């Protein structure tokens, strides 16, 4: 009896770990409207300005560049990556600019705020690490730090347009 119980418990424990996995992304992704480049589920962006910048980046690079802003209690790199990849898959896009924050932290000034800004790419194209690091570290860090999310997104889109067009994207 004991020889059967131990392997069975190990299998149940493994299945439990697999089932727990990573936290689900707390964002509803609707079908993409024609010409849509942005899903601002957080309601923090000047939609027209960011849509225009993302469309310009798409035109300049020859890639489909989209943006996502959302709130999630587990605001971190992993959630930004999962949310961005979910949008890339749902909208069949190439590159996503993502901002995620814990509820209230997009506008918070406290040192304990939890949020993340990043650039991710899908399977068809890989944004070079140097470009992603420059966007996050140089282009978007000051406006995001000041809660100017529209400038963070438009700056990221402009940097993507310049960097990816220079690589022969568009």
**pLDDT, tens digit (0-9, with 9 covering 90-100), for 20-51:** 566 788 799 999 999 999 999 999 999 999 99
**Nearest residue to 53 (alpha-carbon basis) of 131, 112, 140, 134:** 140
Kindly report each contact of residues 85-90 with a partner whose C-beta sits within 8 Å and lies 24 or more positions away, as own/partner.
85/120, 85/122, 86/25, 86/27, 86/29, 87/29, 87/39, 88/120, 88/121, 88/122, 89/122, 90/29, 90/31, 90/32
Q: Is 137 exposed, middle or buried (0-12, 13-18, 19+ CB in 10 A)?
A: exposed
Map out the domains of the chain with their CATH numbers.
26-166 (3.10.310.50)
pLDDT at 167: 60
Specify the residue for token string 């936290």.
Answer: 23
Sequence-distant (≥ 6) Cβ neighbours of residue 157 within 8 angstroms = 50, 53, 54, 56, 57, 65, 67, 97
Could you read off the pLDDT of 53-89 as tens digits, one per residue?
999 999 999 999 999 999 999 899 999 999 999 999 9
Max distance between CA atoms of the chain, in angstroms, equals 67
Task: Give the model's pLDDT for residue 92.
Answer: 97
Residue 3 has pLDDT above 80, yes or no: no
Q: Quick one: tokens of 90?
A: 């749902």
**DSSP one-letter string for 49-70:** HHHHHHHHHHHHHTS-EEEEEE
Q: How far apart are CA 30 and CA 78, in angstroms?
A: 21
């Amino acid at each position: 009896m004991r020889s059967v119980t131990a392997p069975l418990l190990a299998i149940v424990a493994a299945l439990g770990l697999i089932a727990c996995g990573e936290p689900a992304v707390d964002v509803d992704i609707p079908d993409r409207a024609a010409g849509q480049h942005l899903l601002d589920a957080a309601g923090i962006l000047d939609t027209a300005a960011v849509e225009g910048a993302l469309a310009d980046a798409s035109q300049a690079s020859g890639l489909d560049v989209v943006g996502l802003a959302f709130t999630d209690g587990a605001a971190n790199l992993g959630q930004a990556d999962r949310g961005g990849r979910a949008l890339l898959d749902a909208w069949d896009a190439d590159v996503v600019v993502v901002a995620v924050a814990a509820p209230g932290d997009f506008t918070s000034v406290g040192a304990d705020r939890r949020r993340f800004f990043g650039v991710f790419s899908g399977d068809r194209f890989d944004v070079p690490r140097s470009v992603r690091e420059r966007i996050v570290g140089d282009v978007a860090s000051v406006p995001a730090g000041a809660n100017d999310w529209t400038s963070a997104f438009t700056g990221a889109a402009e940097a993507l347009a310049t960097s990816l067009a220079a690589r022969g994207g568009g």
